[in-house]
Structure 1
Amino acid sequence: VDIDNFDEHGADIVFIPSVEEIYPTHGKDAPPIDPGPVAKSLEGIHRPGHFAGVATVVTRLFSIISPDKATFGEKDAQQLRIIQHINKSLKLGVEIIPIPTVREFDGLAVSSRNAYLSPVEREAAPVLFRALTATKLMWHSGERSGDVLRFKLKSVLCGERLARTEYAAIVDVDTFQELDNVVGSARAVLAVNIGRARLIDNLLLG
């Protein structure tokens, strides 16, 4: 399916490496790349080791392909920030281009995980976007307290009985550390379980 999509959009080459190409020694002689301090919060807590794997694979891909540019979605904002970090710290020289989150008609972020939602759960899932937009509206009205903005995020999510919140946070756009007060820009981020689907989303405040 992915290859068909690439063809429709005019791609000339698709790189499909084997495991041996990415891990020539099955990882025995290649310690994982340190994803940096951004990986220690939020997704890094709930998915231990995930970002080290991402950093290692992306670094390996960049070293093989030597791309001029690479695109990564803003839906995975913490992952994007980590890739920007390793690209800069390892001097990989790739232009990292953030891609805005693609959304369904009701605001739900497009994701392969949406396929796990039953029809009833799919109706509930837009609560993530409602929580984010309500929080952004509060920020636009002048609210800068991290606690108040977090409470808004969580209160909207609590209004949906099928939603089980893992985290709902207001974080610094660079460090992804929680903010007591928002000075300048911030990012509202959340992870919510609905049925078998674990959904993540975020929205820039600023």
Structure 2
Amino acid sequence: MTALRRPRLTRDYWLLAGFEALCEVGPAALGAEPLARRLGATKGSFYWHFADVPAYSAALLALWEEDAAQGLEVASQAATEAARLRGCAQAMAATAEADSLTRRAESAIRAWAGTDPIAAEAVARVDTARLARLHRLLSACDIGNLEMARIVYAAAIGMQAMRDPARDQAAPAIGSLVDLILALR
């Protein structure tokens, strides 16, 4: 009789498990032991892929930052400036319908940033990039006020925080805000 061997856990599998754990439990779940227990694996598997827990956390945040940047690129492919602005704002606000676990983890990452300086730096970099993109898109629509970009972005973040997973209204709501801003110019 041969024993069934479980497939080896990949680096990406460990990272996705970290996003799930972060969303469900919080940053305390990002240690080697809690993650290994969660996956039914050994800590040795964790350390095969990551030098230590800080390296794992850095990889988790880097993946989130990369996904956030890609989300901006996809949203910027609409035909008109106004449509690009609307799509960009909607992409920033949407979490529940996002097909990416990293996007759904954004609120948890922001909460983590409140207690971890490395997470806070990652959030600051993403915020800076997103604000710059919103400002460029608003400027292209003849709204050059940087504060307007901050208002749209703050609304998007707030919509993430108050989302109802059963019915995510963030994308239509932020789209309505953008439409209102464009109508007032």
TM-score (norm 1): 0.23
More strand by proportion, 1 or 2? 1
Higher relative contact order (CA 8 A, sep 6+): 2
More helix by proportion, 1 or 2? 2
TM-score (norm 2): 0.25
